Structure formats: structure tokens, C-alpha cells
A and B are shown apart, each in its own frame.
Chain A
Amino acid sequence: MAVTLDPKVPPGPIDEKWENHKFSVRLVNPNNKRRFDIIVVGTGLAGASAAATLGGLGYNVKAFTFHDSPRRAHSISAQGGINAAKNYHGDGDSVHRLFYDTVKGGDYRSREANVYRLAEVANNIIDQCTAQGVPFAREYGGLLDNRSFGGAQVSRTFYARGQTGQQLLLGAYQALAEQIGKGTCTLYNRTELVDIVNVDGRAAGIVVRDLLTGEIRSHSAHAVVLATGGYSNVFFLSTNAMACNVTAIWRAHRRGALFANPAYTQIHPTCIPSSDEFQSKLTLMSESLRNDGRIWVPERAGDDRSPDQIPESERDYFLERKYPAFGNLVPRDVASRNAKAMIDAGKGVGPLHNGVYLDFTSSIERLGEQTVRERYGNLFDMYARITGEDPYRVPMRIYPAPHYTMGGLWVDYNLETTVPGLYAIGEANFSDHGANRLGASALMQGLADGYFVLPYTIGDGLAPLLGTKPVDTGHEAFARAEQEARDRYAGYLAIGGTRSVDWFHRELGKIMWDHCGMERSRPGLEKAISEIPALYAEFKADLKVLGDDRSLNQSLERAGRVDDFFQLGLLMCEDALQREESCGGHFRVEHQTEEGEAQRDDDEFAFVGAWEHTGEMRSAVLHKEPLVFENVKLTQRSYK
């Protein structure tokens, strides 16, 4: 497939592009919408909002999820909030400021036009969700409350207690449920996409596996939308839900969709450290804890005294020391890297020496326990439940964990991938966050894509297809892909080796975390690039999966997902190696300022790195989309 990387950014001033574009795209007449079939894979925030909206417009929508219900998607666990530039508090917020902050926060590695549109439609999201009954926090006067989040200088974050993701997802799920009830959308639950089928250079449909019966089947449509979330679980341990995986977008990548910036991953500083090697996932605690907690380690490496036995003079409040202006509130990546440096220096605390303290003693003395309880009570309870320690008495222990993946399928301004007819929305695409995502902006992006962007842009691609039927699933391209999928799953069972899927996943995760995690270096990445294929060969030779492929088999499901994680892991390392600069969440030790900050190279690396698949475990080909900044000035971050 010949690759063209045309971002299709509309002409005109940045604040008129979206309006102009909406006016110039081809429309599908309301009566004709029912003559189009659209497949939406994934029913998290992005997918459920898209499916509901498309169904509401009159399209025939088939929605797929491997969960039992759309309400289980990983989006449900987002805690903090969702941004919008409503300026309800008159503190000087505006669409332009939200745009500016998001581009800057992304360390100047995102596409200006997409980010501007995101900032523009964010206000509509708040209106939409409020009308749907999302119980956002209110002030005593009955109007919506906001808080400041993730270091933003304005209060623009809307929230619903510590359960914002849950409430937004319920809103989208309910909208989708309404369409399902009305018959415009059909839901295929516990059904996993295992391949994408293209016919004549266009996405024609998908191959799915029924998780209850193991049956492989095909579905075709005029367009396919992937809303399948992020891939942080390539690290094995992350804050993502257990089932999050890369299979859908990886299979699309193998079928010709370019994968952009795979190495851009975000590590979150405030997670509970793992307690043993059987730890299955890491729990995130809201970043807001850093507003009142002080981060420290013992000054002397290997100091095993209990924290209350370590006098003030022998503690190192390393963030306050190194960054007097921002202190404990430095951005996520800076806080994470500094914690890692302390642990690498042997100063880690806790039974496994794998954490740093987050201490509330002085806040409790200053504000009183009651105030601290009001602010953080549920987080403290959660911490106590997991660790068995009382954070009102003993400092919390925290450690960074993989949390979000900025990379994903390359999409143009219409959210269409390099495969015509195949779209990607939500965390599954690469579009809006550059090299680093700001807090409370993933929910915003998922819902912007699903409610307000895709429903317009998809019409432009569909309009010329009026009167055509979707490709018949009897087409030989479907038959071939189905057979490949059957062989793939039967293949895992046939290996009959000695090691479990989880064992391989854990080993892969260690390689990724050590060499492609918080800090990357050329020697480390080269090591990973040699180790991954070797471990993958072992996976293919020594995997052990029990049971069969004709009924529910959770180990078999995981085998398919881990297989794809191996292939993705290699690409992530290649991308990280290629990018000889540090930017946002991508930190190359070779490229740092004297202060230890990420050092960008705007002359050489102001581009999106989009990879073309050339074969399994083979070097992919890099294509570059140059990034041009006309509306923001590129600056170097400094938090001193």
C-alpha cells in the first residue's frame, strides 16, 4: 500500500478552521443515513459516545466490546476530572488558553489544528454531559464547581467526586443504551476484534472472536471506527485495567494503518508501589495528593529505620530541594524521574525499597486531621485498604507507574487512519496530546472525538459511497482473515510448552520498564531490541495454554493480546531509539539540560513519527509528518 501522510488540515486562521471544515465537508442526507453501516469497536468514552451519536443521527451502528457491558470499559476508572474552557470562574480562561496549555503541555509535539478544535468543542462536552444527567460537583449556589488540576493556572476541571470517568462513561453508556433499545445500534458484547479486513485499499470490515464460544466471525460495513483505548499494559504493571490491550490497533497497523509515536508513554508519579512479584496491577492515587503531601527519602542509602525515627535533618525532600519554585508540584514526568533516581541510588523505602514517602504530617499539623480527611478521605481509605497502613499516622509510599499512552494510530484531521474508511478515536489514536498528556484532558479528547468530531467528519468519507453495499463477508479476503485467526488461536493451544502467558507478559514488561520506561538510553534500547525477539521466539516455542478454543478460555484470550504486545514493544523501542531528543514523556538520558530537564531538538525532531509495518518482528519504516507551529511559540520548560 503506498503511504501518503496528508493531515488534511483545513486552510484559514486557526480559530476558523473547524467551522469552515464543517461547512465544506460532504454531508449525508438524514434519510440516507440509514443506508450506511458503521462498525464501532470499543465502547469506552470514545466508542460509546460515537456509537450513540451516530445511531442518533440515523446510521446503522454495530458496536463491539470484549467487556460484558459498555459500562465496564477502562474509562470508568478515571478519577480526577475533565477540562473545558468555560471560564465560569472568571479567572481568565479561554479556548485559546486551553489550546495553548495543551500544546505546551505536549511539549510541542502535537498538531496545532487538532488541539485547537479539541479546546473549542470541550465546552459542548460539559453542556452535553450535564444535560444527560452527569452529576458534576456543584457549588452551594447550584452552579458547576471547578478545580485546578495538574499544575494548570486556571480552574477549568469539572469533576464528579473522585469518579469523573465513571459518571461520564455512564452518560455515554446510557445514551448508547437508548439507541440499542431503539434498534439503531446493535451491541456485540464479549466479542473481541482479532483482525481488520481491507478490500481494494479500503477498510471493509472486521473479524471477531466470540469470547464465550471461541467462534470466529466477520462483519462488514461502510466504515470501521476503532475506539479501543491505550496500551500501557505492554509494561505488564500499569494503572490500566487488566484487559486493556493493543490488539485492535496493532492488527490495524499490520493491515496498513500507520502507528504514530508509539514511544510516547506517560508515567504517573503517585501510584502505590507493588508489594510482591504477584502484583497484578498498580493503583493510581489522585495527583491532588501532591498539593498537601511532602515527598522525601532518607538521606542515607539503605536507611531502614521506620520514618518517624528519621530526624528532619536526615531526610531529603528532594523535589523541594531541586525545584524550589514548584516543589512537590512539578509536572508528572519530572516528579517520576526524580523518584526513580532516588530509588536507583538505594534510598527507596518500604519492604521492597521500591517507594518514596509522601508525608502528610505537616499538613495534618497545619490544617488539622479533619480538613485533610475532607480533602483526601477516600484516597486515604483506599491506600489503607491496599497497604494495611494508616496514612494519617505513617507516611504513604508512592512510586511511578505507566498510566497513559499518547501514541496510537496516525489519523488526519478527520480522524481517519492511513487506511481509507478506517477511523481511530480516543486513546487509540495519537492525535492531540503530543509527547505528554495534561491531567483531565484524555476524557475531554475521548468525548470530543465521539460526540462532536467523528460524527461530522465520517459523513465526508461516506457520502461518495451512497448506493453501494458493504463488501459481502463471503468475500475471500474475509475468509482468509478468518482462517488466519483460527490458526492463530489453535496455534497457541498447540504449542504445549511449559510457561504461562502471564510469565511471558511479566518478562516482557520488565524489559520494557527497564529500557523503554521513564528513562531511555541508546545502549538500553539496543539491548531491548535484541532481547524482545529472543523472548518472543521463546513465547512461540514454550507457551502453555490449557483448555480449548471452543469455549470461554481466558488464558487463550490473553495469549493473543500478549503476542501483539511483543510486536508493539519492539516498535516502541525502535521509535524511542530513533528520537534522538527528549520531549514530554520521552526522556533520553543523552539529551538533557544541565538541570536534568528534557532537551528537545526542534530543528531535527519537530515531526510525528509514523511507522509502516513491513512484517512480523521486522524493522518498520518511518514516515514523518512535519509539525508546524504558527500560533504558539516554542519554549523550553523550566520548573526551578
Chain B
Amino acid sequence: MTVTDPDPREATAARTDPGRTLDVTLKVWRQAGPDAEGHFATYEAPGISEDMSFLEMLDVVNERLADEGVEPISFDHDCREGICGTCSLMINGQAHGPERGTATCQLHMRTFSDGDTIVIEPFRATAFPIIKDLMVDRAAFDRIVEAGGYITVAAGSAPDANLIPVPKVVADAAMDAAACIACGACVAACPNSAANLFTAAKAAHLNLLPQGQSQRYQRTETMVDTMEDFFGSCTNHGECEAACPKEISIDFIATMNKDYLRAKLKNRRYLSRNG
């Protein structure tokens, strides 16, 4: 008996025709301002090309709304290629929608089916107040970085870059952590609205590198303390890792916790010696 393998080219044949179109129904959170009452509004969105990105679909819906005299839906976005971290959205209850390792702006309508109803809400967390409709204020992340998420170097004072070799595995691990785009999906997905994955990623990026050692413990302590001023506590649900568009590893949180404990110890010892 001969088994014929399906020709892989068939499944992914080169496109020479425009793709299908979908008719979808949107249930969108509308809220006029930070203090206004919000509600879901339902909009029909017929004739959406499967090749559109999710945000292009919203652009089209917005143009149609404006034609009808309805104010367009406000949403945050900029690069539209998954790197700036500006886009957000809970799509059918999932931060950045159904695809793993994908930011909302990289999601395409071919992921959805004709006739689907799509529920679109803002990221919800006390530390992320709603600005309007689907836009939230994520400035609390900046406060965490200002508290210690840097390495101090005055411009012009740095030694030759190759003076300190960094093992490739270390540089690669730092890069894995540094890939965080500060989108806030981890917070939105967390039942406690904790920002541990974001904070741990930033701390790990700097704490792993030899250049980051002098400020390591002080950095960890001030960043974590600031984080706790704004965000809830981590109870290891792991929802953050699943929602993260950059697939930042939850292992970084464990490292941060260890460093935080040691920081408390170290700083106290340092203080007792000097105080």
C-alpha cells in the first residue's frame, strides 16, 4: 500500500487571490473618560478581510462609526509590529487575544471565524486607570524603572566596551529578559494585578550582567518596593507568563525574590556597619 503524503505546498499554496471576508459582531467597552460610567456597545462589522490585522479591523469599524456620526473608539497603538508595547486590549477575556506570544497589533482576523462575536475590553487593574474607552494609563511601570531600573553611567565615562567580556549565555539570558515591551498584559492577566513579571524582567536584564552588579541589591529593593506601592502581590498563578506577548519566563520572578531577600539582608548589614 502506498501512502501519499499531502503536498505541503497545497496547504500553504501561494496566494494569488484575495482572501475570504468575515462578518463579526463586536462588543466594545465604551467609557467617555476616567470618571465616567462605562458600558458595552455592540457594533456589527460585516465584510472584514481575513488579511486585516485586528487593529486594522478596528480602524475600519471606526471609519464606519464616524460616517454614522458615532465618535470612534479610542485605543492605544503605535508601531503595529509587536515591539513598542503601546497596544493592549482584552479580547474575549484574554490579554492580547487568543494567540500565544502575540501582541494585539500582530493578531490577524484570519484567527477568527465568520459569525464570531468578539468582546473587547481595556486591560483592567487598579494601577492602570482607564483614560477613555480601551485606553489605560500604565505610567506606574515608569515609576518602577525610575526607582532603580538603570545602570548609572555618565555619558563619556564608560571604558572600552570589550574591557569586560560577558559570557554569551549570560548576554543571551539578559536579552531574553530585556525583550519585555512593558505592555502590561501580565498585570491584566493576573488575578491579583501583580506586576512581578514586568519588574522581574527589568531587574534580571540588569542584574544578570557584570555591568549591573554594583547597583544590583539596591536596585532590586527599590524596584520591588515601588512595585508594591502600585500593584498587587504575586501568588504564583502563572497567568502572566501565558499572556506575555514576548514569552518572558516566570523563572525571573524567583530570581528577583531571592535577590530581594538578599538585598534586605545586605542593605541592613551595610546600614549597621555605617550607621
Q: Name A residues whose Cβ lies closer than 8 Å to a Cβ of B.
A: 49, 52-53, 56, 67-69, 71-74, 76-77, 86, 88, 124, 126-133, 135-144, 160-161, 163, 166-167, 170, 173-175, 177-178, 180-181, 187, 189, 212, 241-243, 275-276, 278-281, 283, 304-308, 349-352, 382, 385-390, 393-395, 451-452, 455, 500, 502-503, 544, 546-547, 551-552, 554-555
Contacts and interface: CB of A to CB of B under 8 A. Distances in A.
Contacts of B18: 275-276, 351-352
Interface stretch (B119-127, B205-213, B229-237, B248-256): B205-213
Contact of A69 (B141, B154, B205): B141
Nearest to A244: B78
Contacts of A351: 15-19
Given A133-B174, A241-B79, A552 B151 contact: no
A69 B138 contact: yes
B1 interface: no
B160 interface: yes
B167 A142 contact: yes
Rank and list the top 10 A-B pairs by shortest CB-CB distance, nearest first. A142-B165, A174-B150, A131-B158, A181-B146, A130-B161, A275-B51, A127-B158, A135-B175, A390-B12, A135-B174
Contacts of B182: 69, 71
A72 B85 contact: yes
Nearest to A274: B51
B269 to A, nearest CB: 25
17 contacts: A71-B182, A74-B84, A128-B155, A135-B174, A144-B161, A144-B162, A161-B179, A174-B150, A243-B78, A275-B18, A275-B51, A276-B49, A278-B59, A280-B80, A546-B71, A552-B135, A554-B74
B24 to A, nearest CB: 15
Contact of A137 (B66, B83, B171, B211): B171
B77 A242 contact: yes
B86 interface: yes
B49 A275 contact: yes
B9 interface: yes
A68 B178 contact: no
Given A128-B155, A144-B161, A546 B171 contact: no
Given A138-B166, A395-B14, A72 B60 contact: no
A136 to B, nearest CB: 7
B123 to A, nearest CB: 13
B174 A241 contact: no
Contacts of A547: 71
B96 interface: no
Interface residues of B, number: 86
Given A142-B168, A393-B8, A385 B19 contact: no
A180 B72 contact: no
Contacts of B152: 178
Contact of B84 (A76, A135, A349, A389): A76
B71 A88 contact: no
Contact of A132 (B147, B151, B166): B151
Given A77-B84, A278-B56, A546-B69, A131 B159 contact: yes
B16 A304 contact: yes
B175 A72 contact: no
A241 B33 contact: no
A167 B202 CA distance: 12
Given A142-B166, A351-B18, A394-B13, A130 B211 contact: yes
Nearest to B33: A551
Contacts of B49: 275-276, 278
B142 interface: yes
A468 B82 CA distance: 46
B175 A555 contact: no
Contacts of A56: 154-155
B175 A554 contact: no
A131 B153 contact: yes
A279 B137 CA distance: 27
A388 B13 contact: no
Given A127-B159, A128-B155, 4 more contacts: A67-B78, A127-B161, A131-B151, A167-B175
Nearest to B69: A546
A145 B51 CA distance: 38
A177 B12 contact: no
B63 interface: yes
A181 B147 contact: yes
A178 B150 contact: yes
Given A68-B86, A68-B137, A546 B15 contact: no
A390 B9 CA distance: 9
Contacts of A388: 15, 19, 50-51, 108, 110
B86 A133 contact: no
B106 A385 contact: yes
B156 interface: yes
Contact of A280 (B16, B56, B155): B56
Contacts of A86: 161-162
B66 A133 contact: no
Contact of B150 (A129, A139, A175, A395): A175
B195 to A, nearest CB: 14
Interface string B114-152: 000000000000000001100101110110011101111
Contact of A278 (B19, B60, B151, B161): B60
Contact of B131 (A138, A212, A241): A212
A174 B8 CA distance: 47
B63 A500 contact: yes
Contacts of B181: 166
A86 to B, nearest CB: 7
Interface string B72-108: 1010111111011110000000000000001000101
Contacts of B172: 135, 138
Given A67-B78, A546-B69, A385 B209 contact: no
Contacts of A140: 168
B41 interface: no
B178 A170 contact: yes
Nearest to B144: A177
Contacts of A304: 16
Contacts of B160: 127
Contact of A555 (B72, B158, B179): B72
A503 to B, nearest CB: 8
A566 B137 CA distance: 32
Nearest to B34: A212
B55 interface: yes
Nearest to B75: A554
A98 B125 CA distance: 49
Given A350-B16, A351-B18, A389-B15, A77 B81 contact: yes
Given A128-B153, A131-B158, A67 B135 contact: no
Contacts of B161: 86, 126-127, 129-131, 136, 144
B32 interface: yes
A136 B171 contact: yes
Contacts of A452: 155-156
B174 to A, nearest CB: 4
A170 B50 CA distance: 34
Contacts of B59: 278, 280, 502
A278 B159 CA distance: 50
A46 to B, nearest CB: 13
A311 B132 CA distance: 56
A283 B9 contact: no
